Amino acid sequence: MLSPVAPYADSAAVNPGSSRFHRCQSGRQNRNTGGMRALLFLLLLAGLADEALAQRESLGIFQLWGAFREPGRCYAIAEPFRSPRPEAWRPFASVGYWPGRGVRSQVHFRLSREKRAGSAVLLKIDGQTFQLIGGGNNAWAPDRRADADIVAAMRTGIEMSVETRSSRGAFVRDSYRLRGAATAIDAAAIACAR
């Protein structure tokens, strides 16, 4: 995590007596306190932004999949290579781990469109089809065994697609390539096992 003070740790600005910016000039003190306050505010703001970014750690990009660790969870994630134009959110497929909750290899899909109530959500991985559950723009495996079966198919598969009907009745298909999925899933699992 980057602290707002860290950029100045090795400089003379830490010791006001040794910095030319804090010395008297022509017998009068430098009164540019407004500029210094603005600079301090910007540094503090940058430090807070860095702190927020530091909470997500990249574990690696593995071809078309990425793996990340955040406080309390790790996950492998990918965006579809083909889907309807996204609405207010970006669709994705992920496999997550929450060690504190005892959850391992949980599959989650953010659909490119909100699904129609009562509409089935089907996941197709090469020649296999899995029924998912969900609501709104989210879909999951119905239980842990289905999660395990889906992750096993993802590890050896080439492509997968999630299909449903949108809330407007249109057919929706989000398609993913699985190159790098197994490695990203392993990276997430290992990171949360520590």
Please indicate, yes or no, whether residues 15 and 83 belong to a single structural domain of this protein: no
| pLDDT of amino acid 54 | 53
At 39-77, the pLDDT tens digits run: 334 444 444 444 455 589 999 999 999 999 999 999 999
Please indicate, yes or no, whether residues 18 and 101 belong to a single structural domain of this protein: no
Please indicate, yes or no, whether residues 44 and 62 belong to a single structural domain of this protein: no
For 56, which DSSP code? S
Please indicate, yes or no, whether residues 30 and 90 belong to a single structural domain of this protein: no
| Separation of alpha carbons 67 and 158, rounded Å | 19
Computed over every residue of the chain, the mean pLDDT equals: 78
Q: Cα angle at 105 between 99 and 106, to 5 degrees?
A: 95
Amino acid at 11: S
Q: Which of 79-83, 91-95, 134-138 has the highest mean pLDDT?
A: 91-95
For the cut 60, the answer to whether the pLDDT of residue 138 exceeds it is yes
Amino acid at 145: R
Please indicate, yes or no, whether residues 38 and 93 belong to a single structural domain of this protein: no
Listing DSSP states for 58-119 in one string gives EEEEETTEEEEEETTEEEEEE--SB-SPP-SS--EEEEEEEGGGTEEEEEEEE-SSPBPTT-
Domain for residue 24, yes or no?
A: yes
| pLDDT of amino acid 86 | 67
Domain, as residue range, for 18: 6-54
Query: Average pLDDT, stretch 2-31?
Result: 33
| pLDDT of amino acid 53 | 52
At 17-32, the pLDDT tens digits run: 333 333 334 444 444 4
Please indicate, yes or no, whether residues 44 and 137 belong to a single structural domain of this protein: no
